[in-house]
């Protein structure tokens, strides 16, 4: 880890022989991080990719990390700032460098709501990603529509906080985004979760229900994709500040 | 049309040569009407079945009637009371007889809600069926969850009216039954409609969303099955009065 | 566990920091219990929620409990009445208080039928729930349509007992509710189970078959949802007694 | 139409230039007729194929015939025995020849049941096919399971008649074959129909329900395939007589 | 095990308290065995049901038996003839009694073909069932259509043996029944297996392909249902001999 | 049309007897227009709803308008500014009032791309909606990935124009949003269209492909939902300007 | 039509204002024609695109042409060589120019087989496309597996002709490619058609069956995609000749 | 292992009693290897089949081999050349014989691309198969469309290398084959992988996306079927050299 940090060029690539071609320029070019999706990779592969990113860009974000992935990262990058969110299975790694300070990044605010308790891991994936990207996060968990009065306070706070975007996370019938989008005037990013049973079909029903929300102002990401929702919210906030 | 009306036995059947075996005893035996589902039948077939029912039981209910069916019935049964609900595609036919008075039947009250304007035909099928069965009907149309405050007044009225059951009809994401069941203490019969597009899948998504409602106290009937919902509500009310 | 039991207000909520927002008022408001669905929760989380419910309402119902959940509850609530139904995976917990007596609750009667032996766990979930809610339960197991004469006795008993509702539970082709609804004059709540193989599709085929029953008077709940069927039956009985 | 009729060899083929290769030997080789499925063919194409079959084998069977197909056949084959079943959309054409008499063919008996009135067209396709193949047909229509007592008489007659096979045709939840196979000791060939709506999925649900019948002794053919069911029944009867 | 063996009446039932209602009369009434599908039952439950059947009918057939089930049966019924087919997961149990001899039962012949090696377990389930029912079995394994010449010998032998029925078992594209039915003049019972990957969809694709065979004379049973195919073949042979 | 225009309150509703409950406050409350989805409504119903909106809010937007709807609107609202986009099937109606000027509304910029020519109707629905909401629209049509160099110019222009959001519309394999999101640093709203055949499944395949884009920064709306995409883009732009 | 024909550059594009961006360089760059898929386009749009292609490249191919499209093309391009294949719905248009002679193009040979008569339109789409691309076509229609001996002659001819590729087209159970690939040593391109009913699911079942062929050496294109199969065969032949 | 190697006849079969019928003539007859798909077979079964192939043909290829399979093969065939590709789960076994030299086989060149790192096992299955068949393999891994510039170098090299075919392997939205086919003039064999989550549906979405590629010149094999893609590429190259 010797090379000093400097901004990669738009199309800069790095080959890690035989298994990866890292797109270091993705953030410069397309405004979004090249995160490491750990699920189909060995701890060794994840560590190798993170190392390359740290060396070149000074930071790296790992999602869907198992405890094996997390231990391997903690061991390898003991000289870095490593922030672990076990519920969300996210690890954020950063070099301890002066020039890399939070103040220099775009700032924004996002509200994250879940319908139930079981949706929280997805929410935490979103929260950890948003925080890695420099956003302020407001959390409102277990506020689903079976007791509609649970939404009164969150909606009031969201209106006051002037958030850039709302992330509404739900399993089951997935009604939360529809109701929220009928109450607030911000873009609502809906995340279906695979929580449910029977006709839930691993989240497919929730996804479909969200896609045909009777409210407009809702867009949807893949099932359980808390990371994608946070990146999208970040792009909204970033665009507003450019 | 000569035979006087008298109650059929539990297992009484009538063969209409080559195409139908009418179950005259269904109401005595199982508390529900043998309605004529007109959709896959010719006007002639419908008329023949209705005639047999009128002669034996004094009344008949036809659902999914096209205008051809309706005209054929009106022409044939000009000496009966014929009540046509064109939006709901339902026709109720009754002999003009003293002994067949509304007072002698079980009574009950049902509230029918729709999420949108396009769900109204299904609601009217339910309403016409419930009225045929002697129920009082309260209608609240276009009160879907995109503007949740539209539900305040209906919920208040439902609580006051002490209905036997609530029929909640919706297309799209089908969130109405969940929200209503979270607010009232009566059985909620959910009817998915085939209103929607794209991922609606002809109502399948709505059906699935309703089946995995995060509220309990909801049971579901087939897509667009207003008739079935009304019969179910009637059985609830009838049971309460036996 | 110090606070004396008193009825919560309609909209009373309790925040359990960071993962749950308990809707204590659900029963007052919407006539149904806020049961704890244990499947996606740790034993610790379940215990925390149950404790909050016991303290505030004096009772709690846990469904889909694993043996880990059950042991944790038994250990924690040794000073309460804890009723465990291992086949149905349901635990009912109640404080030992004078003011909380079964006599003060609404009463009703429900018949529970299963088509086969393998459907019994779902039936027991329903039975345990109905009993928790104060209902009398009649059980008729393994009476499916492959030997139609097995239904003769149950139907006779159901007619005599004047039940409020019938819960018909089946896997495979799911024909039981159709046949039963053709024979009895009570609302039939159909519960598809995930028992079967090949084209069973984890219960989806059974569900669909039930939804398009050729008998009216049938409404359906989610696959394996014995709890939901029992709550629905309870609402029918409760409505009849209000 | 000059060539005298004689039995074709097992593998005899005839090319009708550019669109068909007729398998005249199918009946000798595989015991089943090469019927003409008219649905995707023009009346001209159907007539050409029928002509080739009549010339070589003395008989031809056309299924899924529209009225255009029927008129074209009646016009072209005015010198043959043409038997039209309009409800079943089947046409049987035979040369008027001494040597082609019904007595020389295998004989058998099949019972055909339908659950409802709307399933009759499929039943008539089966009946016309079975009769073309020399079978005796017993019909029991509209005997579905919503009124289970409707089955008492048919089952009694089937037992007495000692049929070779039973064809049970149903739409909706498709429970008829299960119940029938639980009552009779003959092979039950189940035919799902596309009659239904909502979750019927054009007969797919009915098909799946039949395939996972809780009764054994049931085998299934494609949706609406009355022809295939009849050929299968014929092969059973033929095998019993060889 | 004291009661002597005698034929049960048509509608004779036996209640095994709380979990099973055995239909002893099934064979008398409907010509098919009440086999014990072991998959969703504990070894104890299976043993209890088998014991009741042995006591009353002298024989019992268990399918989908795990090695736990098999060991429990072998231990419990050491005084009976127990025949285990481990590949097919079938166990046949019979009392050692004079009056129960193979000669007194209907006889028949069935050919069983598989497309591949991996389909053999399903074939063995069919073979063991057919043998339990007194049939002679001809086996032709691994003769799928990728090398069409592999079918020459089996087809020749099937023609010579004058079988009552052919069971054609295949996974993947399921083409075997189509090709076989084009070559032999007996009923072909097709069994799709769940062998395959990707678009196989656990056998659904194979099932669908078989159902729309371009050959007639094919009927289909559920995925992996070797038992059902054998019972169906037995009913064909039995009917031919009555 | 007499009442002067003034801003409706957040929760203001208007009942149009028997079929609609107009949510006039939606824009004040939730920042999005209550557009009229014409597809399931008669021209008379559409005109009645538009009239109510014009009277109360001074403007109305109708989507999925058939030519019958369009003619009815043009006839009825000849005293208004009526802007018809026939390709997109959108009609925008506004009263000719001083106080309602474009300058007073939030402003923003959106780029709309289509993969093919056949996707243009959906793009025009989006464009007409965005323009109604006061946005500037950049169009790049027929720039799909089969000729990847077609994207060079659009990407360059999008970067220069500093748009608030990109709407990427595609049918078939739906790869456009992935590629675009890999090249630009703005939120990409993906709209799947039902253009395709065979495995397209009416757009479902395209939708699923977009949802699992290998690029982050993409969120998806329902199939063919150009309107929804435009409202979402508007909310992003509006949020950036509040 | 004045500009003389000359080879376009690899990345040459032409904008047809507002609806199309023609990729003239596709053949130079990627070896395949930019055909015009007429189905979702008006006759006017098709004519405009064809005109641009003729002017720039001297030739154009239109697929999925309705009779309206065909008439418009014939009328507009009366000075060109226009070859219409009505069964395949394909039109090939070429300028009458010396420099554009068939001899100068790559040559190859393809065999096209269909399982049934109803698959012929797809076969003709493939044949017309292959001929447009300069290939020799051998046709074998109606040689499906229900009469396996129908394949003897085609296989013999394919072996003798030394074709570059085989296109095997089938609906129903789609077994033809498996059997053919087991008999010939050339690449087999399988085309599923939407011919069938019931479980055919518009060709999906056929597609899936082909994809899991037990023979290797088979690759598949979209349902009914005769054009794609021909282009693929052409690329094989072209590659062999480069 | 005594018999000397000589070319088997076209239709030569070998029976391995009770479970396999080896098609030794497949390569002579149909130009493709009979590989051993190990997944559903025991190590013993695999070894027996390999032994038969080695004895008769001198070589054998095993795919989907677990480590148990691999160990069993290594142990048994220690006197052969055994080449193990663990990532691709492929084992190639060859007798050490003079007459079996690589020079005598058809030669060709194939490029293999993957979209991501997780697709590499499928790519290695393809690579190992192609190499077994005597082809030269060019690998380009992790070049998916999220960073489209990653494709510049591979495309350049593919053009220069004059490959016979391109194998494009991708999971997720599966856009790689479309983009590649728009850039190179060789047949593109697309392989969908089951890499993804949520709406990926185990690769079904990727498969469908590839099948409706907007580029022509793409044909598809089953999900994860690297073996099939390589055999297909080999047949293309082999055809070009015959």
Per-residue pLDDT of chain H (242 residues; tens, 9 = 90+): 444 557 788 888 898 877 899 999 999 899 998 899 999 899 999 999 999 999 999 999 999 999 999 999 999 999 999 999 999 999 999 998 655 454 455 579 999 999 999 999 999 999 999 999 999 999 999 999 999 999 999 999 999 999 999 999 999 999 999 999 999 999 999 999 998 888 889 999 999 999 999 999 999 999 999 999 999 999 999 998 87
- Higher-pLDDT residue of A241 and E75 is E75
Instruction: Say how far apart CA G120 and CA G141 lie, in whole Å.
Output: 7
Please, which residues bridge with residue G108 across strands?
A: G135
Name the one residue in this structure whose structure tokens are 């160099």: F149
* Distance (Å) of CA C127 to CA C67, C70, C123, C223, C229: 19, 18, 6, 16, 10
Mean pLDDT of chain A: 91
Q: How many helices (H) and strands (E) in chain F? A: 8, 11
Cβ contact (<8 Å) for A147 and C13? yes
Q: Given CB atoms, is A169 within the 8 Å cutoff of chain B?
A: no
DSSP secondary structure, G93-161, as one string: EE---TT--GGGS--EEEEEEESSGGGHHHHHHHHHHHHHTTEEEEEE-S--GGGGGGGHHHHHHHHHH
pLDDT of residue F242: 77
Distance (Å) from the C-alpha of residue C46 to the closest C-alpha of chain A?
Answer: 11
pLDDT at A1: 40
CB contact under 8 A, F147 and G26: yes
For an interface test with G, give the residue of F119, F143, F199 to mutate (most G CBs within 10 A): F199
Helical ranges in H102-202 per DSSP H: 120-132, 152-161, 176-181
CA distance F114 to C15: 47
User: Is ipTM over 0.90?
Assistant: yes
CA–CA gap between residue C163 and residue C240 (Å, rounded)? 12
Positions of chain G with pLDDT under 50: 1-3, 100, 102-103
Q: Is domain H104-241 annotated with CATH 3.40.50.300?
A: no
- Residue F17's pLDDT band, with cuts at 50, 70 and 90, is confident
Among D93-97, E217-221, H132-136, the least confident range: D93-97
Q: How confident is the model at residue E1 (pLDDT cuts 50, 70, 90)?
A: very low
- Could D178 and C182 be called an inter-chain contact, meaning their C-beta atoms sit closer than 8 Å? no
pLDDT in tens, G10-51: 888 898 877 899 999 999 899 998 899 999 899 999 999 999
Give the model's pLDDT for residue G98: 58
Scored b (16 or more CB within 10 A) or e, H140-168 reads bbbbbbbbbbbbeebbeebeeeebbbbbb
The chain F residue lying nearest A27, using CA atoms, is F185
**Which pLDDT score, from 0 to 100, does residue B19 have?**
84
For E187, counting Cβ atoms within 10 Å of its Cβ (0-12 exposed, 13-18 middle, 19+ buried), the class is: buried
Residues of chain H with CATH 3.30.1370: 14-94
Chains with 3+ CB–CB pairs under 8 A to C are A, B, D, E
Question: Could you tell me which CATH number the domain at C105-241 has?
Answer: 3.40.50.1970
User: Is A182 in contact with B212 (Cβ distance < 8 A)?
Assistant: no
pLDDT more than 90, % of chain C? 79
pLDDT band at B2 (very low <50, low <70, confident <90, very high): very low
Q: DSSP class of residue E209? A: H
Rounded Cα–Cα distance for residues G175 and G116 (Å): 12
Q: For B198, which of A179, A212, A215 is closest by C-beta distance? A: A212
* A207 contacts F222? CB cut-off 8 A: no
Which residues of A fall within a CB distance of 8 Å from H148? none
Query: Going by C-beta distance under 8 Å and a sequence separation of 6 or more, which residues neighbour residue F72?
Result: F43, F44, F46, F47
Which among H15, H19, H203, H231 is the top mutation candidate for probing chain E, defined by the most E β-carbons within 10 Å of its own β-carbon?
H19
Decide: helix, strand or coil at residue A140: strand
Instruction: Name the segment(s) of chain G with CATH classification 3.40.50.1970.
Output: 105-241
Its CATH architecture, for the domain D103-241, is 3-Layer(aba) Sandwich (3.40)
pLDDT in tens, B41-71: 999 999 999 999 999 999 999 999 999 999 9
Do B26 and D147 lie within an 8 Å CB cutoff?
Answer: yes
Contact A198 C223 (CB under 8 A): yes
Q: Where do you find CATH 3.40.50.1970 in chain E?
A: 103-241
Give yes or no for a contact between D91 and D83, defined as CB atoms under 8 angstroms apart.
Answer: yes
Has this prediction a pTM greater than 0.90?
A: yes
CB contact under 8 Å between E118 and H207, yes or no, is: no
A18 vs H contacts (CB less than 8 Å): 141
What does the pLDDT read at residue F106? 53
Mutate to test the interface with E, among C139, C197, C202 (most CBs of E within 10 A): C197
Task: Examine chains B and D and say if they touch (3+ CB pairs below 8 A).
Answer: yes
Mutation to test the D interface, candidates G118, G170, G172, G199, most D Cβ within 10 Å = G199
Mean pLDDT of chain F: 91
Q: How far apart are CA D14 and CA D22, in angstroms?
A: 5
Gap between the Cα atoms of A152 and D214, Å rounded? 50
Residues of B in contact with A199 (CB under 8 A): 207-208, 211-212
Whether F106 has its CB under 8 Å from any CB of chain A: the answer is no
Instruction: Return d(Cα F119, Cα E242) in angstroms, integer.
Output: 66
Rounded to whole angstroms, what are the CA distances from F217 to A158, A219, B148, H231?
A: 23, 12, 30, 38
**Chains within contact range of chain H (3+ C-beta pairs < 8 Å):** A, E, F, G
In what order do the strands lie in the sheet containing C90-94?
Answer: C36-37, C59-63, C90-94, C81-85
Neighboring chain D residues of B203 at a CB cutoff of 8 Å: 198
Nearest CB to B212: which of C35, C222, C229?
C222
**Residue B99 confidence (pLDDT):** 53
- Reported as a single tens digit per residue, the pLDDT across C151-176 is 999 999 999 999 999 999 999 999 99
Cβ contact (<8 Å) for G165 and H239? yes
pLDDT-wise least confident of B197-206, B221-230, D138-147, H92-101: H92-101
Comparing C196 with C114, the larger pLDDT belongs to C114
Radius of gyration of chain A (CA): 18
- C202-221 pLDDT per residue, tens: 999 999 999 999 999 999 99
Beta strand ranges found along chain A (DSSP E) = 14-16, 20-22, 36-37, 59-63, 81-85, 90-94, 108-114, 135-140, 165-170, 188-192, 218-220
Q: Which of A203, A208, A210 is nearest to A189 (CA)?
A: A210
> Which of D240, D203, D31 has the alpha carbon at shortest distance from D115?
D203
Signed CA dihedral, A84, A89, A95, A100: sign only: negative
- CATH number for the segment(s) H14-94: 3.30.1370
Banded pLDDT at D106 (limits 50, 70, 90): low
Tens of pLDDT along B120-170?
A: 999 999 999 999 999 999 999 999 999 999 999 999 999 999 999 999 999
- Mean pLDDT is highest, among D28-32, F2-6, F134-138, for F134-138
Residue F62 has pLDDT above 60, yes or no: yes
Distance from CA of H22 to the nearest CA of E (A): 9
Query: Over the stretch A33-83, which tens digit does the pLDDT of each residue have?
Result: 889 999 989 999 999 999 999 999 999 999 999 999 999 999 999 999 999
Indicate which of C143, C152, C173 best probes the interface with D, i.e. most D CBs within 10 Å of its own CB. Answer: C173
Query: What pLDDT is recorded for position H2?
Result: 45
**Kind of pairing, strands G90-94 and G81-85?**
antiparallel
CA dist G199 and C5 (Å) reads 59
**In the predicted structure, residue D97 carries a pLDDT above the cut 90:** no
List the single residue in F35, F162, F219 with the smallest CB-CB distance to A242: F162
Nearest C-alpha neighbor of G61 from the set G73, G75, G45: G73
At A154-199, the pLDDT tens digits run 999 999 999 999 999 999 999 999 999 999 999 999 999 998 888 8
The answer to whether residues G68 and G95 touch, using CB atoms and an 8 Å cutoff, is no
Contact H162 G242 (CB under 8 A): yes
Beta bridge partners of F111: F138, F166
Chains A and H touch (3+ CB pairs under 8 A): yes
Question: Does residue C74 register a pLDDT over 70?
Answer: yes
Is there a contact between E216 and D35 (Cβ–Cβ < 8 Å)?
Answer: yes
Nearest to E195 among H20, H40, H224 (CB): H40
């Amino acid at each position: 880890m010797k090379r000093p940090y400097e901004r990669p060029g738009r199309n800069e690539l790095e080959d890690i022989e035989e298994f990866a071609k890292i797109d270091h320029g993705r953030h410069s070019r397309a405004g979004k991080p090249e995160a490491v999706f750990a699920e189909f990779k060995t701890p060794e592969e994840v560590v190798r990719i993170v190392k390359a990113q740290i060396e070149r860009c000074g930071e790296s974000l790992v999602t869907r990390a198992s405890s094996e992935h997390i231990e391997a990262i903690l061991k390898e990058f003991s000289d870095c700032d490593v922030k672990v969110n076990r519920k969300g299975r996210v690890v954020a790694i950063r070099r301890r460098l002066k020039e890399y300070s939070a103040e220099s990044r775009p700032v924004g605010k996002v509200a994250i709501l879940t319908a139930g308790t079981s949706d929280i891991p997805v929410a935490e994936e979103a929260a950890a990603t948003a925080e890695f990207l420099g956003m302020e996060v407001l959390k409102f968990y277990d506020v689903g529509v079976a007791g509609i009065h649970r939404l009164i306070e969150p909606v009031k706070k969201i209106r006051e906080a002037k958030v850039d975007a709302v992330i509404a996370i739900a399993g089951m019938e997935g009604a939360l985004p529809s109701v929220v989008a009928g109450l607030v005037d911000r873009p609502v990013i809906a995340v279906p979760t695979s929580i449910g049973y029977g006709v839930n079909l691993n989240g497919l029903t929730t996804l479909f229900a969200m896609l045909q929300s009777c409210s407009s102002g809702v867009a949807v990401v893949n099932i359980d994709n808390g990371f994608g929702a946070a990146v999208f919210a970040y792009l909204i906030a970033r665009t507003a500040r450019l």
